[in-house]
Amino acid sequence: MTGRSTTNDLIVITGAGGFIGGSLVRYFHERGGRRIRAVDKKPVADWYQRVPEVETLCLDLSLEENCRRAVAGAAEVYNLAADMGGMGFIERFRIECLRNVLINTHLIEAACAAGVERYFFASSACVYNAALQNDPNVVALKEADAYPAMPERGYGWEKLLGEMFCQEYWAERGLKTAVARMHNVYGPHGSWDGGREKAPAAICRKVVDAVERNSGRIVIWGDGTATRSFTYIDDCVSGIDRITHCDALIATPVNLGSSELVAVGDLVSKVERIAGVKLEREYDLSAPRGVAGRNSDNTFIKKMLDWEPSTTLGAGLAATYRWIQKQYRARHPRRDAVQAGVR
């Protein structure tokens, strides 16, 4: 493990049935962690990943008593539990996103009462002032740009309040907290359909579908001009570890994102090149769009850690596309394979 805890210390990861949480469980396990407790409210059969030898608990952490059970005996707690998804989800289900505040409120109190040494909170780039994101040619957002506060409704406000909890628990009670503002995390083992997926996964799925059905077309949300930076999952989990175990960053929100800005239309082109196709494009201007532009200013994380996410978008998309293609084909066997008796 690159963390400061020993392999005998108990690490608790909430939201472990989800994309980032499940990847973080695997990350710590592969680095020698032998006491890991993975917690999620979903039935284990629905978890995105399951790592053998890891303790699993199915608990709804919006309930205080479940939080106390989850953190009992823990040295470190990583809170990635949240009801969330891509823009299509967080714009349509703001109440569900706001109710995530119950999870962090109860979990950080339970962690503090249990004597936990370090507590990580997964924040989001959605905390940033929306007035700074009205142009696709956006100036990269630095940590101070979250104030004066005008985050995205619902999800953004919940994350900003969670950050404040982490700062106050350090100031008043001495709990070492860590906060990472994540920028559009993507990669294998993530949501790729059903409404919770983010743009890279959604576009990969649409291109796979167009190839498999030979439709020759793709529907794109918005007009294709919106810009974002996208962070590959391996960089994300490594960054969580580094931020959490840097004492100079205690209770200090830090951008955790790639600074490689791309327009949605260019993102589609990158996936087309991976698939070896060129598709006719239809633009759905009624679909949720989010802000016009958002990018991560990595000046601070490079200064503090001498590190920043480094996986190129091309490399990350290629791995993501191959994984989604495999999931798609498992769900929709191709006619030639079925006719040949291949399963």
CB 51 within 8 A of CB 33: no
Backbone angles phi, psi at 218, to 5 degrees: -145, 140
Average pLDDT of the residues of the chain = 92
pLDDT of residue 337: 46
DSSP at 296: B
pLDDT of residue 312: 97
Q: Is the pLDDT of residue 335 over 60?
A: no
Give the pLDDT band of residue 90 (cuts 50, 70, 90).
low
Q: Is residue 320 part of a domain?
A: no
Determine the Cα–Cα distance for residues 174 and 187; give it in Å rounded to an integer. Answer: 35
The answer for residues whose C-beta is within 8 angstroms of residue 47's C-beta and 6 or more apart is 16, 17, 18, 22, 40, 56
H/E stretch holding 217: strand 217-221
User: Per the residue annotation, which of 128, 155, 169, 186 is the catalytic one?
Assistant: 155
- CATH number for 159: 3.40.50.720
Q: Is residue 308 part of a domain?
A: no
pLDDT of residue 340: 39
CB 296 within 8 A of CB 255: yes
pLDDT of residue 217: 96
Determine the Cα–Cα distance for residues 334 and 326; give it in Å rounded to an integer. Answer: 12
Q: What integer is the mean pLDDT of 170-182?
A: 98
Strand partners, 77: 12, 119
Tell me the whole-structure pTM to 2 decimals.
0.92
pLDDT tens digits, one per residue of 97-132: 788 899 999 999 999 999 999 999 999 999 999 999
Give CA 322 to chain center in angstroms: 20
Query: Is 186 a known active-site residue?
Result: no
Higher confidence at residue 339 or residue 80?
Answer: 80
Q: Is residue 121 part of a domain?
A: yes
pLDDT tens digits, one per residue of 212-230: 999 999 999 999 999 999 9
Higher confidence at residue 233 or residue 98?
Answer: 233
Q: Is the pLDDT of residue 259 over 70?
A: yes
Where in the sequence is the domain holding 146, given as residue range(s)? 11-186+232-256
Q: Is residue 247 part of a domain?
A: yes
What is the number of structural domains in the chain?
Answer: 1
Q: Is residue 1 part of a domain?
A: no
Determine the Cα–Cα distance for residues 60 and 70; give it in Å rounded to an integer. Answer: 10
Q: Is the pLDDT of residue 95 over 60?
A: yes
Backbone angles phi, psi at 322, to 5 degrees: -60, -40
Give the pLDDT band of residue 3 (cuts 50, 70, 90).
very low
DSSP at 156: H
Length of the chain: 343
Q: To the nearest whole percent, how much of the chain has pLDDT over 90?
A: 79
Q: What integer is the mean pLDDT of 79-105?
A: 80
Q: Is residue 291 part of a domain?
A: no
- Mapped onto helix, strand or coil, the DSSP state of residue 7 is coil
pLDDT of residue 154: 82
Q: Is residue 56 part of a domain?
A: yes
Q: Is residue 334 part of a domain?
A: no
Higher confidence at residue 100 or residue 210?
Answer: 210
Q: Which residue, 190, 242, 205, 2, is CA-closest to 85?
A: 190
How many CA atoms lie less than 13 Å away from 66 in the CB half-sphere? 16
Give the pLDDT band of residue 88 (cuts 50, 70, 90).
low
Q: What integer is the mean pLDDT of 307-331?
A: 97
Give the pLDDT band of residue 287 (cuts 50, 70, 90).
confident
DSSP at 97: H
pLDDT of residue 18: 94
pLDDT of residue 83: 76
